[in-house]
Chains A and B, each alone.
Chain A
Amino acid sequence: AQSVTQPDIHITVSEGASLELRCNYSYGATPYLFWYVQSPGQGLQLLLKYFSGDTLVQGIKGFEAEFKRSQSSFNLRKPSVHWSDAAEYFCAVGPIQGAQKLVFGQGTRLTINP
């Protein structure tokens, strides 16, 4: 069965600094991979997704993620964070066929220092 691990529960970075959030997955084949963001009091919003093609995926709000098959990773990056990026970030993996269920990681809470 597929699984997702986000090793960092909470990360604090300064505004303007670079950001990398880690995600490792377990799946027998190439999965669909997602990053969702949850702002306080809101539902989740899709930042980006990957299935095939270029392993560097661009998303909304200036985020990107890189798929590394050899490391079973799909880390999320942003070169310069803004105070509005403070939120909880979830990595998720989906099966290829008959996809009804996404498996979500535990989430990483991002705090931005002014």
Chain B
Amino acid sequence: NAGVTQTPKFRILKIGQSMTLQCTQDMNHNYMYWYRQDPGMGLKLIYYSVGAGITDKGEVPNGYNVSRSTTEDFPLRLELAAPSQTSVYFCASSFRDANEKLFFGSGTQLSVL
């Protein structure tokens, strides 16, 4: 069982560049989430999706975009990268909602220099 798979694991971007963080899950989960983790700050929700074609903003959506064209995939797009987006990004999924068990990917460490 692959679970939640994120790519890439590490990336360094220059200020102003763009990139897409990939996330795919093979558990047929309806709900998917993107979190960022900053040292000493816990996890903050960026965007979430309750099913294919449906997305919504979380706590910290500025500078990011998402799409959900299939149940399996939930990519996160960074446009015009800024140093403030240096963080570790986690994708997660759950079958019903966030009060069910969340399954997390292993994360993407992103540095914007």
Q: A residues near B, CB below 8 A?
A: 4, 9, 32, 36, 41-46, 49, 51, 90, 94-96, 98-102, 104-107
Contacts and interface: CB of A to CB of B under 8 A. Distances in A.
A107 B40 contact: yes
A107 B48 contact: no
Interface residues on B, range: 20 to 34
B102 A100 contact: no
Nearest to A94: B99
B22 to A, nearest CB: 15
B90 A99 contact: no
A101 B104 contact: no
Interface of B: 4, 31, 33, 40-45, 48, 50, 56, 58-59, 90, 92, 97-99, 101-102, 104-107
Contacts of A105: 42
Contact of A46 (B33, B56, B102, B105): B102
B97 A106 contact: no
Contacts of B107: 41-43
B35 to A, nearest CB: 8
A100 B98 contact: yes
19 contacts: A41-B106, A43-B92, A43-B106, A44-B102, A49-B99, A90-B42, A94-B98, A99-B99, A100-B31, A100-B58, A101-B48, A102-B43, A102-B45, A102-B98, A102-B102, A104-B44, A106-B42, A107-B40, A107-B42
